[in-house]
Amino acid sequence: MVRLSALVCVQNQDARLSECLRKLSFCDEIVVVADRCTDRSQDVARRQGAIVIDGIFPLESQRKAAGVEACSGDWILEIDPDELVDAALAWEVRAVLQMRPAGDWYELPIDNYVGETLVREGWAGALSSRAEPRLYKRGLKAWEPRRLNAPAVMAGRSGGALTGAIRRSLGRDVGGLLERLNRLTALAAEDLADAGRPVNLASGLLAGAATFLRGYVGRGGWREGRVGLLVAMLSAMFPVLSQMRASDVLEARNTAVAEATRASRMRDVVGLAAR
């Protein structure tokens, strides 16, 4: 029998976590990485029989790597707390692994929901995606050091895409999408500040315009009506807001460094005076 581990990384998402983990009961084990959680996420995970890794992981790549290290399965199924695996997809995953797999990793389609509305078309940029490599042999996936959407490096041979899709909830309504945009741009701003490159609002505007056209026109967002237009607009705002917020992050960091320097000099002056 092929042993399958489910990996879930969580940050204060206990309201969604319980149902997410219940849907993973077909796996041989569940590993939950709780990153700086101050809610009941750890308790919820333990009640579902999960292995809990509790710690401080500033980067997404660190969370994922810690989770993979704790998994004992031959294969890993990677799921987010706002995602659900239905019975049909669970059966398909198990069937693929019990037969001779066609590859070392598989892409899983993602159905994106806003409330109860399935939004199939138009996803571009960082808000969400249509498919991701989520089922893979242990040790064949690595992540670049990033806080948000850490690019995955896959080793081995692709087995293609499965038929069933993960159900991802992007919020109960439009407000949920806005909250998601706010959370993601905050993380992206930290990544931009870490890169040490000058903030370039012009490049953000150009990237936003390209993202809007890619999502709304190239990927058929216009077919989704008003929701598709909203998704394209928010996706276009992402690079612009990220650049603007990166400027604030850099300013705050520079202020903190200046204050620490002044405090250090003051301590030195007081020490010399005391002598």
pLDDT of residue 268: 67
pLDDT of residue 199: 75
pLDDT of residue 272: 67
pLDDT of residue 274: 65
Q: Three-state DSSP class for 245? A: helix
Which phi and psi (to 5°) does residue 223 adopt? Answer: -70, -20
- In 220-232, which positions are buried (b, 16+ CB within 10 angstroms) versus exposed (e)? ebeebeebbbbbb
pLDDT tens for the 275 residues of the chain, in order: 899 999 999 999 998 999 999 999 999 999 999 999 999 999 999 999 999 999 999 999 999 999 999 999 999 999 999 999 999 999 999 999 998 788 999 999 999 999 889 999 988 878 888 999 999 999 999 998 988 888 899 999 999 999 999 999 998 888 888 999 999 999 999 998 888 777 788 888 999 999 999 999 999 999 999 999 999 999 999 999 999 999 888 888 888 888 888 887 887 677 666 66
Query: How many Cβ atoms sit within 10 Å of the Cβ of residue 65?
Result: 18
Cα dist from 176 to 11, 60, 141, 168, 171, whole Å = 17, 22, 30, 13, 4
pLDDT of residue 99: 87
pLDDT of residue 127: 86
Q: What is the DSSP letter of 164?
A: S
Asked if 126 and 238 count as a contact pair (C-beta separation under 8 A), the reply is yes
Question: Given the structure tokens 């058929």, which residue do they identify?
Answer: 220
> What stretch(es) of the chain map to CATH 3.90.550.10?
4-169
Query: Which superfamily is assigned to 4-169 in CATH?
Result: Spore Coat Polysaccharide Biosynthesis Protein SpsA; Chain A (3.90.550.10)
Cα dist from 263 to 222, 228, 249, 266, whole Å = 56, 52, 21, 5
pLDDT of residue 102: 84
CA distance 145 to 147: 7
Asked if 214 and 174 count as a contact pair (C-beta separation under 8 A), the reply is no
Q: Say which amino acid occupies 85.
A: V
pLDDT tens profile 212-251: 999 999 999 999 999 999 999 999 999 999 999 998 888 8
Q: Say which amino acid occupies 229.
A: L
Asked if 229 and 249 count as a contact pair (C-beta separation under 8 A), the reply is no
Report pTM. Answer: 0.87
Residue 51, burial from CB neighbour count under 10 angstroms (0-12, 13-18, 19+)? middle
